[in-house]
Amino acid sequence: MARTNGRIPGVEARAGRSPGPSLIRSLNAIQREHGWLPREQLVRLARDTRRPLYELEGLISFYPHFRTTPPAKIEITVCRDLSCWLHGGDERIARIHELYGDDAEIEVREVSCIGRCDRPPAATVNERPAVVSELNDVVREARAPGGAHAGGLRTGQAASCAAAPARRHWPNDPYPEGADASHYGVVRAMLAGSLRPADTIELVEHSGLRGMGAALGTLKESGLRGMGGAGFPTAAKWELVATQEGEPKYVICNADESEPGTFKDRQILAEQPHLVIEGMLIAMLTIGAEQGWLFVRHEYGPEEEAFRAELAGARAQAILGENVLGSGRRLEIDVFTSPGGYILGEESALLECMEGHRGEPRNKPPFPATYGLWGKPTLMNSVETLAAIPVILERGGQWWRDQGVRGGVGLKFLAVSGQIANPGVYCVPMGTTARELIELAGGVADGAELQAFQPGGASSNFLGPEQLDVPLDFKPLADAGSMLGSGALVVIAEGTNLLAAATNVLRFFRDESCGKCVPCRTGSHKAHQILTELLERGGGAGDVDQRIDQLEETMRLTSICGLGQVALGPVMSVLRMQRTGTAAAP
């Protein structure tokens, strides 16, 4: 990377920040033990680490998971975002406040999406996933002697608090069903030097890369793109990191999916942790890294436990450790539990969090591939992307390409929620239409007519029923005025106030803004205030004035990261649909 006077251009704003180590894991540990962060524990941590107390206070005030006051015996959190809102979330929340609001032992909090959109309205009791209809029973269990205390349900407990889903055999799994002993076959072949894809590429001789170019060649042939939202070519990202001179290098699996309607990665972690781990190991071998991390949202306690259990099994098989399978290679994977915040799904904010800072996006360039975790080359991919790697290397790049339809490439996991008969996660050929996916999920709930849908999660623009036959793929959706985004299709039935639905989405982005840049912080608040007041007066799309258009343009053009840039996009798509009859961007 080019340097100016010994410094890397673009990182000047980071001067003076603590070099670490990160205190977030220590804060997580304190809260896990006590249920909150007692002042005396913070003073002790500051003293033991020789870090100023104000630094700890700055972290704690930024991350929503941290508590500075003792919790009630029972904490109920209820999701208020779109998929749950569509199932009477506001009314259910009001009812829960009526039932438990005067109970001194219970605290009720309304929260952003908790990743359980397939069971709406979603809730937790002391971090145990639940649905509103089950609350009485779950609260009764929590009241019983020995019930988990609020804030204290974390590693070692979560797995017992929610039934693990039955593991199904998905089409992206190259290993026979039930044949756990055959797992990690691609990693074994790579270490043995017996991986022989049909096509290879030439790489510069670089530490850790000799013999690993075959994996990159197959990935290039496959045409795999990142499934976390951006759709960047996977092989190009891997090659960029592989050819960097900096050492050490890192691999991070971004499992911080926090966008309303999005829960596909949660399902993959629960049912295919072996594929995620193998994908990470293949990436590490390919780019020359020894250390990998799973960055997972704290609401995914059961899924984190499933991943940790698979890590333990892999370590027992010598797939992880100081001398993997006698190869002399060191490969380690650890887990970093997020302290909360949608913004951490943005790659540079995630890195800031792991380094122990407030999770605010960095200015780019430099990008993580050249200046990532602790300033070192870092490869970051999503759960779904990494889980696809083993089958591609096992069956070949052309096999992957052949799985798509209508010009699509490969397989796609999609979360379906909202007003749908059978919400859940579906694995379909890339290029499947929205109509086909909705039919696969049982159609619109109660036989209602479709009014609109979001094809790619909360940040994607709404599309109307006339666009049901658009393939769910990167370019076709972009051409239609939306995007594949986070792989979450949210269904809206006729009779729903679509402007109110879009305003609900805007509230999420307002609440989750990190506050670093003024356009996003102030613009999202002002736009939500304008629209809420309009809806309270009984107004509709025809009553929305030019202030919203002006705020959208300002936020889109001047916000630092994607949150502010897309926050008003769904609202604008609804206005276009109701003003002109089309959702396509002008």
- List pLDDT tens digits, range 313-323: 999 999 999 99
Q: How many residues does the chain have?
A: 586
| pLDDT given for residue 456 in this prediction | 96
> Of 415, 409, 427, 417, which Cα lies nearest the Cα of 474?
409
The CATH number of 497-586, from 3.30.200.20, 1.20.1090.10, 1.20.1440.230, 1.10.1380.10, is: 1.20.1440.230
56-69 average pLDDT score: 94
Q: What is the pLDDT of residue 154?
A: 36
For the chain, the domains span: 17-62, 74-152, 183-247+262-291+303-330+342-396, 497-586
Handedness of CA 158, 164, 169, 170 (dihedral sign): negative
Q: Strands of 291-296's sheet, edge to edge?
A: 332-337, 291-296, 250-255, 378-382
Q: In what order do the strands lie in the sheet with 122-125?
A: 106-111, 74-79, 122-125, 128-131
| The CATH number, out of the four listed (1.10.260.40, 3.20.20.70, 3.40.50.11540, 3.90.950.10), of the domain defined by the range 183-247+262-291+303-330+342-396 | 3.40.50.11540
pLDDT of 199 higher than 60:
no
pLDDT digits (tens, 9 = 90+) for 539-583: 999 999 999 999 999 999 999 898 999 999 999 999 999 877 665
When the pLDDT of each residue in the chain is averaged and rounded to a whole number, the result is: 90
Mean pLDDT of 339-352: 94
Residue 151 has pLDDT above 70, yes or no: no
- Would you state the structure tokens that stand for residue 117, as one six-digit string? 């959109």
Question: What's the CA gap between 173 and 527, in Å, rounded?
Answer: 45
Q: What is the pLDDT of residue 179?
A: 81
Question: How much is the pTM?
Answer: 0.92
Place domain 74-152 in its CATH homologous superfamily. Glutaredoxin (3.40.30.10)
In this predicted structure, what is the pLDDT of residue 297? 96
Residue 42 CA neighbour count, 13 Å, CB half = 19
